[in-house]
């Protein structure tokens, strides 16, 4: 069936345009033309009613949502979390792991493969491994018991259990990290700087070893610090200055203030900045919900308060409760970033970072994944492969 989306404000990288018909066939965008040139015979017309027509959101770092955690290791948990985020516009998702025993990782791999084989209404782009090769001094919500130094032999053993890993977050200053980055690069897996105390020079060395992005920029990451009486740049400064590195950030308005969000956008640009929810399983549950930060049964007692996870004593943040549309809203309404750039950071930029080239923009030949939302970024409808999803 041929379907055309009309009467919408179509969001492209760098601009928003009205008066266009976006035509889809066989799950792909087949044409983009002026509405008056559309031959409406034998075409299913979708009236966007003046709403924004955006590419489907692409979340490349997320641990769960709606009460489902990807680390639960069951098909039901992977499908449940992905469908929760689908309601908020995430049509393509990269389930992200936590540091844990390898056997628990393999359960996630098996569950992921089963769900992917069922051809769900969302796209599973691949798996993001966050750990175990992280710096204990910056472990954040990761369980330090299972952290280790980068080991190519162990990494190959983990990868032998799945061909779905597309990204691995690693602290580049640890012994063995650069060798691991080179190996992953040869396999086409994205290496990302994460949970790190690295200096600028160590991040730069990682970039030359194949690392191409930075995980939740600023969070669990070294910034300018002193060595003796002199200040030296850290990982954050490397993220700003090294053009070979893209960054992702949790733009929930809690992990980073609006001024920092705007500064990252202004310095790195929308094309090298991705938004990620980094959401945990309780995302979407009511305020006051108690949970345990980290993989069950690991982690510290925490609570949802003021739209974010906090340790139960409110002494520190304990994890994100964000959805993709909330991130776009914060960037647009609070950080005062142009809407087309806020959307690009939630669509095309993350898609490019994980090499999902069929996703992320409204362009002929790309997948017909769309989100319809209003000026408050409240999602009104979601389409995948040109078909409406019941949300």
> Is the model's pLDDT at 294 over the cut of 90?
no
pLDDT digits (tens, 9 = 90+) for 346-355: 999 999 999 9
Q: Delimit the domains of the chain by residue range.
A: 2-53+374-389, 57-357
pLDDT, residue 391, reads 81
pLDDT digits (tens, 9 = 90+) for 185-199: 999 999 999 999 999
Overall CATH class of domain 2-53+374-389: mainly beta
* DSSP 8-state symbol, 299: S
pLDDT band at 142 (very low <50, low <70, confident <90, very high): confident
pLDDT, residue 292, reads 84
pLDDT, residue 143, reads 84
* DSSP 8-state symbol, 272: G
pLDDT digits (tens, 9 = 90+) for 56-113: 999 999 999 999 999 999 999 999 999 999 999 999 999 999 999 999 999 999 999 9
> Is the model's pLDDT at 298 over the cut of 70?
no
Would you call 62 helix, strand, or coil by DSSP?
strand
- For residue 51, say if its preceding peptide bond is cis, omega within 30 degrees of 0: no
Where is average pLDDT lowest: 19-33, 43-57, 131-145, 254-268? 131-145
Cα–Cα distance between 46 and 4 in angstroms, integer? 6
> Is the model's pLDDT at 241 over the cut of 80?
yes
Quote the tokens at residue 214: 């930075």
Domain 57-357 grouped into CATH 3.20.20.140: yes
Q: Which residue has the tokens 């897996």?
A: 189
* DSSP 8-state symbol, 356: -
pTM of the model: 0.96
């Amino acid at each position: 069936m041929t379907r055309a989306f009309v009467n919408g404000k179509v969001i492209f990288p760098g601009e928003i345009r009205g008066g266009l018909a976006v035509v889809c066939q066989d799950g792909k965008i087949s044409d983009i033309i002026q509405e008056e040139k559309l031959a409406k015979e034998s075409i299913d017309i979708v009236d966007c009613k003046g709403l924004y027509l955006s590419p489907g959101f692409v979340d490349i770092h997320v641990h769960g949502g709606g009460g489902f955690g990807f680390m639960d290791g069951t098909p039901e948990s992977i499908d449940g979390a992905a469908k929760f985020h689908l309601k908020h516009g995430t049509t393509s998702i990269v389930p992200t792991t936590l540091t844990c025993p390898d056997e628990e990782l393999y359960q996630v791999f098996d569950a992921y493969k089963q769900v992917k084989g069922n051809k769900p209404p969302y796209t599973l782009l691949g798996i993001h491994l966050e750990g175990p090769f992280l710096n204990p001094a910056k472990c954040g919500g990761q369980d330090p018991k299972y952290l280790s130094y980068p080991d190519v032999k162990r990494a190959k053993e983990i990868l032998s259990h799945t061909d779905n890993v597309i990204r691995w977050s690693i602290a580049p200053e640890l012994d063995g990290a650069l060798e691991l980055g080179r190996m992953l690069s040869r396999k086409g897996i994205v290496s990302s700087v994460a949970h790190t105390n690295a200096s600028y020079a160590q991040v730069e060395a990682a970039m030359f070893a194949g690392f191409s992005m930075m995980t939740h920029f600023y969070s669990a990451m070294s910034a300018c610090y002193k060595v003796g009486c002199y200040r030296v740049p850290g990982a954050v400064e490397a993220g700003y200055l090294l053009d070979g590195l893209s960054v992702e950030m949790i733009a929930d308005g809690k992990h980073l203030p609006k001024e920092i969000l705007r500064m990252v956008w202004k310095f790195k640009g929308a094309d090298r900045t991705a938004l990620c929810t980094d959401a945990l399983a309780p995302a979407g549950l009511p305020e006051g919900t108690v949970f345990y930060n980290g993989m069950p049964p690991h982690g510290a007692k925490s609570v949802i308060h003021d739209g974010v996870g906090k340790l139960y004593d409110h002494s520190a943040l304990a994890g994100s409760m964000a959805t993709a549309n909330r991130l776009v809203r914060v960037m647009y309404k609070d950080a005062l970033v142009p809407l087309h750039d806020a959307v690009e950071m939630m669509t095309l930029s993350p898609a490019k970072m994980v090499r999902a080239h069929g996703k992320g923009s409204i362009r002929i030949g790309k997948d017909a994944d769309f989100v319809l939302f209003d000026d408050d970024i409240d999602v009104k409808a979601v389409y995948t492969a040109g078909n409406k999803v019941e949300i």
